[in-house]
């Protein structure tokens, strides 16, 4: 075969090899793009964008033996209106658990036993329960009822030292000692104060005892209770005197302070 024909044949084979390599690389890049789009949750066909002319489709990487190796650069189209799937879930909760988390509760959904998830917590939100327990003593301590200094009424204090079995005893003492008049002052030497007729010695000690409980329960009343040390007990409102009564009665256990009211015009 003439030398020129041999050269033409070699050139033809070389051109064919290059074209085949280019076609193979194009197929590999297309496969990578489609696979990456599927994994990212995007539909490549829907968000299709032409690959810019100046965008590299392959990058030459030098290996240890200085042989060039090509790595395809994956181009994932992301138009300006692209919204990640994670953001959609965050903005629009779709499942019962997501709705609960969006409301700020960590309580799991309740199963009613019928196999249907109602999406409602089995109990009240812990945060609301805690806030409610903290607010009640503050509200009651400064309520209109607390400032009513005369008349029979259930105990406004229902905290740590309160127990229902002692309520009848409290009412008996309040009637016997002060006729349900919280502002009264009397007794021997006119040194007994309030409807429970506390002596002046209690004025300084009881506020410390009540403030200790307040700090333990976190009801927020400790500063106010400590301020009562500088005021006669018959000027304390109804809530403070009811709380003082049960604190003294049960500070060291139920009925531990009952002896303070053993004597009187009648037995309680």
> Over the stretch 96-134, which tens digit does the pLDDT of each residue have?
555 555 555 444 444 444 445 555 555 556 556 545 554
pLDDT-derived band at 191 (thresholds 50, 70, 90) equals: very high
Q: Is pLDDT at 90 greater than 80 in this prediction?
A: no
Residues 111 and 132 grouped into a single domain: no
Residues 190 and 168 grouped into a single domain: yes
Residue 230 counted as domain residue: yes
Residue 78 counted as domain residue: no
Residue 268 counted as domain residue: no
| Predicted local confidence at residue 106, as pLDDT | 44
Q: Is pLDDT at 174 greater than 60 in this prediction?
A: yes
Higher pLDDT, 48 or 160: 160
pLDDT-derived band at 187 (thresholds 50, 70, 90) equals: confident
pLDDT-derived band at 147 (thresholds 50, 70, 90) equals: very high
Q: Is pLDDT at 29 greater than 50 in this prediction?
A: no
| Predicted local confidence at residue 119, as pLDDT | 53
Q: Is pLDDT at 255 greater than 60 in this prediction?
A: yes
Residues 212 and 240 grouped into a single domain: yes
pLDDT-derived band at 84 (thresholds 50, 70, 90) equals: very low
Average pLDDT over residues 126-155: 80
User: Considering 61, 92, 123, which residue would you say is the last residue of a domain?
Assistant: 123
Q: State pTM to two decimals.
A: 0.52
Residue 187 has which token pair? 């007794």
Q: Is pLDDT at 36 greater than 80 in this prediction?
A: no
Residue 42 counted as domain residue: yes
User: Considering 34, 52, 72, which residue would you say is the last residue of a domain?
Assistant: 72
Which range marks the domain in which residue 35 is found?
A: 3-72
**How many residues would you count in the chain?**
268
The total domain count for the chain is 3
Q: How far is it, in rounded angstroms, from Cα 233 to Cα 47?
A: 78
| Predicted local confidence at residue 188, as pLDDT | 83
Residues 24 and 102 grouped into a single domain: no
Residue 43 counted as domain residue: yes
Residues 60 and 143 grouped into a single domain: no
| Predicted local confidence at residue 57, as pLDDT | 46
Residue 208 counted as domain residue: yes
Q: How far is it, in rounded angstroms, from Cα 136 to Cα 113?
A: 34
Q: Is pLDDT at 189 greater than 50 in this prediction?
A: yes
Residues 245 and 194 grouped into a single domain: yes
| In the chain, alpha helices (H) | 3-39, 85-91, 96-102, 126-141, 167-178, 202-217, 222-227, 238-250
| Predicted local confidence at residue 217, as pLDDT | 94
Residue 30 near residue 57 (C-beta atoms within 8 A): no
Cβ neighbors of 241 (< 8 A, separation 6 or more) are 182, 194, 195, 196, 233
Residues 132 and 245 grouped into a single domain: yes
Residues 67 and 191 grouped into a single domain: no
Residues 179 and 114 grouped into a single domain: no
Residue 267 counted as domain residue: no
Average pLDDT over residues 194-206: 95
Average pLDDT over residues 245-257: 97
Burial of 247 (0-12, 13-18, 19+ CB in 10 A): buried
């Amino acid at each position: 075969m003439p030398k020129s024909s041999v050269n033409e044949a070699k050139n033809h084979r070389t051109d064919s090899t290059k074209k085949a390599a280019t076609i193979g690389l194009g197929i590999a890049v297309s496969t990578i793009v489609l696979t990456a789009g599927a994994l990212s949750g995007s539909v490549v066909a829907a968000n299709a964008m032409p690959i810019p002319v100046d965008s590299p489709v392959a990058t030459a990487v030098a290996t240890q033996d200085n042989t060039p190796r090509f790595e395809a650069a994956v181009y994932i189209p992301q138009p300006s209106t692209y919204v990640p799937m994670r953001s959609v879930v965050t903005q629009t909760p779709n499942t019962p658990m997501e709705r609960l988390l969006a409301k700020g509760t960590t309580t799991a959904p309740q199963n009613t036993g019928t196999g249907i998830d109602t999406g409602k917590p089995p109990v009240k939100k812990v945060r609301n329960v805690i806030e409610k327990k903290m607010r009640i003593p503050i509200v009651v301590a400064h309520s209109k009822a607390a400032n009513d200094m005369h008349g029979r009424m259930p105990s406004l204090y229902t905290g740590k030292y309160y127990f229902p079995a002692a309520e009848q005893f409290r009412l008996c003492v309040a009637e016997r000692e002060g006729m349900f008049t919280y502002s009264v002052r009397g007794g021997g030497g006119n040194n007994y104060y309030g409807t429970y007729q506390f002596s002046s010695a209690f004025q300084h000690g009881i506020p410390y005892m009540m403030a200790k409980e307040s700090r333990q329960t976190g009801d927020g009343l400790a500063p106010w209770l400590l301020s009562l040390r500088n005021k006669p007990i018959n000027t304390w409102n109804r809530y403070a005197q009811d709380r003082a009564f049960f604190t003294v009665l049960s500070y060291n256990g139920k009925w531990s302070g009952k002896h303070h009211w053993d004597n009187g015009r009648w037995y309680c």
